[in-house]
Each structure stands twice: as C-alpha cells, then as structure tokens.
Amino acid sequence: MLRVENVDSFYGRSHILFEVSLDVKAGETVAILGRNGSGRTTTLKTIMGLITPSSGRVFLEGEDITGWSTYRIAKKGVSFVPEERRVFTTLTVRDNLEVAEKVGRKGYWTRDRVLDLFRPLQKLLHRKGGHLSGGEQQMVAVARGIIQNPKLLILDEPTEGLAPAIVHDIVAMIRTIKEQGDTAILLVEQDVRTTLTVADRVLVLDNGRVVFRGTPRELDGRDDIKKHHMGV
C-alpha cells in the first residue's frame, strides 16, 4: 500500500529526517513512536506532500507520489487527520461529515456506521464545530477521515490531551477499522501503552532516524530502546 524509501526532509535549513524508510500493507496498522521532536509528524507531512523530501521516494500502491500535491494524494484515497483537529468551525457536525463524505469514496463507512462508531456525535449533529470541546472536535476530525473510506488513514496524535472515555472510543474505532476491511492505518501516537494494543508493527524514531522496527511484543522486550529513545 504505502512505501517510503530512504527519505531525507528539511524544515528550512534544519535537517529533520535522515534516510527514513517504512512500509504499510493493506489492512495493517503501523505506529510511529518517539519523543517530541523526533521527526514523527515530519514523516507524515512528507508522505502527504506538505513537505517535499530532499532525497528518497514515496510510493502509494506502487506509484511514485513524491512531490505530489496534498490534494492529489488525498484523491488517491489517503485521509490525513492532523494533530490540530481541523474541523469547519462554522459548520454543524452533520455538515462537517457531509463535506467529507462528498469528497471521499463510496464504501463500507456510511454516515450511519460512522455515527454508530462515535455515538456521542449523534446528539451533536446540529452543533457547530466551533462550539465543541476539544475531544468532540477530535471525534469529528477522525470521523471525517473515516467517512471518506480511505485506502490509507493517517492519524497524528489522535488521543493527545483527551479524556480517557474519548481515548477509549478512538482506540475502539481503530480496532473496528482493522476488523472491517483492508484499510491501512499509519499512526503517530504519544501513548505507548495504547499504541501497543492496536499496532501490528512499530517504528521508533529518534533525531530523525529509525532506531527500531518490529512488533509491539518485540518492542515491549527492549527496555534499552524505550529508555534511551522514547523516555519511557
């Protein structure tokens, strides 16, 4: 599904990513872990065309998408839910979902199924995005990503700063997506414990370099990686 090969990326003159490689297969959930500033979000932005790599390539379903616009990548079936919880603040929850539904693909995730997954939103359909709590906005943002029926769903810190009940809902959502088809998920998450319960494979970044790749069980047994590269 997704393949990143030896990517280097810069912010201005600052060299952030160093020969980063990863792959995500259809139906697989891959998590990127690491300290703040390790290059996790830069990796996602490079995949989404928000940052053009100085070297290396990005492939989606075997097609080289390096340097493509974010819009063009999204049209190929990639949904990106950024950390900033971007929702249309002047539109209702219902309208937010309708906009995403119209630009997405037809598939399993209908509006009814998405709302069944995020039941708290059922009572908020007529509330404007700007009047939602942070957790409610995050649920809308993730729901907008899912309702597009993406081939690849990219989530940047989906549980950051959320109440435990909402974290539980989002983790349940990830598990449900895994059960319902071949959607690939690339997840950046700070909560290591949560990540290890949903990921099939894990990468750890430190200072822009991949320092570990393996299964959650393999990472759980690597106290050296967790201590020196993740601060756990």
pLDDT, position 231: 62
DSSP 90-159: TSBHHHHHHHHHHHS--SS--HHHHHHHSGGGGG-TTSBGGGS-HHHHHHHHHHHHHHT--SEEEEESTT
Q: How far is the C-alpha of 5 from the C-alpha of 156, rounded, in Å?
A: 20
Would you state the structure tokens that stand for residue 71, as one six-digit string? 């819009």
Residue 216's pLDDT band, with cuts at 50, 70 and 90, is: very high
Tell me the helices (H) and strands (E) count for the chain, helix number first.
9, 10
Residue 206: what pLDDT? 94
- In the prediction, which pLDDT does 131 show? 94
Adjacency order of strands within the sheet including 78-81: 78-81, 152-156, 184-188, 29-33, 201-206, 209-214
Q: Which fold has domain 2-229?
A: Rossmann fold (3.40.50)
Q: What is the pLDDT of residues 155-202, one digit of tens each?
A: 998 888 777 877 888 888 888 888 877 899 999 988 888 888 899 999
Please state the pTM of the whole predicted model: 0.91
Q: Given a cut of 90, is residue 12 above it in pLDDT?
A: no
Query: Distance of alpha carbon 3 from its chain centroid, rounded?
Result: 15
Q: Which residue has the higher pLDDT, 231 or 53?
A: 53
Cα dihedral 212, 213, 217, 221 in deg (nearest 10): -20
Q: Is the dihedral of CA 200, 201, 204, 205 positive or negative?
A: negative
- Biggest CA–CA distance in the chain, Å, is 50
What pLDDT is attached to residue 190? 80
What is the pLDDT at residue 30?
A: 96
pLDDT of residue 167: 83
Query: What is the DSSP secondary structure assignment for residue 62, as one 8-state letter?
Result: T
What is the SS3 assignment for 16? Answer: strand
pLDDT in tens, 35-51: 888 999 999 999 999 99
Instruction: Give pLDDT tens digits for 99-152.
Output: 999 888 888 889 999 999 888 899 999 999 999 988 889 889 999 999 999 999
Q: Compute CA distances 77 → 80, 142, 143, whole Å.
A: 10, 15, 15
Q: What pLDDT band is residue 153 in, cutting at 50, 70 and 90?
A: very high
Q: Determine the residue type at 17.
A: L
Name the one residue in this structure whose structure tokens are 């500033």. Answer: 37
Phi, psi of 19 (to 5 degrees): 50, 50
Q: CA 49 to CA 65: how far, in whole Å?
A: 8
Closest by CA to 215, choosing from 201, 196, 199, 197, is: 201
If you average pLDDT over each of 68-77, 178-187, 216-225, which comes out highest?
68-77
| Residue 210 predicted with pLDDT over 70 | yes
